[in-house]
Structures are given as C-alpha cells and as structure tokens.
Structure 1
C-alpha cells in the first residue's frame, strides 16, 4: 500500500514550519511529497496553527483557544467549589 507513515510523531517546531511553508505559497501536495506527511495531516496542522485575528487586533490559534477553554472550565469548577464552601461557612 505505498509508503504510509502511520504513528509518526512530529515536534511542534516541525509542524509550524510546514504550516509556514504552506502559508508562504507551497502546495500541500508538494509539502506532502517532500516531507513525507499526509495531505490531511498538513491541513489539520494548518487549521491548528494558523492565527485567527480578534477584534482588538491580536491573534490566536485554534490551539490557544482550546487551552483557554480548558482553563475556563477549570476556573468555573473552582468557582463552584468556592461558592459551596462559602455557603457551608456562612451557616456556622
């Protein structure tokens, strides 16, 4: 079945380099052949590491947004715990 590269791990710098090459004009097909990474994987990396402009002029990646959502959920959970603790201590 050809040269399928399953289970390979690439470091973050390599992924960002591929995305930068894609954004600078290289085609996904060229990058796939040259670096031995599937086209689907390159598209996924592009989605993950390409910046999204916000209203205030800053930029975020999908990865940054996912990290912020995870942190927000953790903080909401901590907030609920503190509310319950306050209710317990207020009764005393």
Structure 2
C-alpha cells in the first residue's frame, strides 16, 4: 500500500499487533512503507485505558464516544427548540 492509500482497520490492527509483538518502527517502515509517525499514531490511538477492574477502552473509542455525545447534545438542542415552537401553537 503506497502513499495516499487509505488503510483498512484490519491492516492497521495487523501493523499494531506486529509492533506490539516486537517489530520496531524502522522494520515496519522498511517492510510496509508506512511512515513511522503514522504507525506510532495508530499504536497510540489503540492504547487501552483501564476504566475499572473489568473494563478497558482505547483512545480511539474515547474519541468516538465524544463525537457521539456532541451529536446527541446537538440533537437535544434541536428537539428543545422544536418543542418550544410546537408548545406556542
């Protein structure tokens, strides 16, 4: 996969697994042609954050949840305004 290509989640996960199993950034860069900074960002976004004894969440999942919360807040504001409009009628 060359420059400008969009990588699949499966491919990213494979690279992350290879890195976590001991391959260096330089080896992965040499073998797959992916920038070291790109690999590092994939690894960092996949790091797990311990929530409690039985649950972990990745940084990527936290960002997705933040986006979802923002969307829900926006939808709630729209619904509040619509309710106000209909209450006046």
TM-score by length of 1: 0.78
2:72 maps to which residue?
A: 75
Aligned pairs, how many?
Answer: 88
**Unaligned segments of structure 2, at least 5 residues:** none
Q: Which has the higher strand share?
A: 2
2:9 aligns to what? 12
For normalisation by structure 2, the TM-score amounts to: 0.80
1:6-52, Cα deviation, whole Å (9 max, x unpaired): 21222111111111111122211111112221111110111122322
5+ residue gaps, structure 1, are none
Question: Matches of 1:91 and 1:16 in 2, distance apart?
Answer: 53
> Which aligned segments of 4 or more residues in structure 1 are displaced greater than 4 angstroms?
none
How far apart are the structure 1 equivalents of 2:36 and 2:80? 49
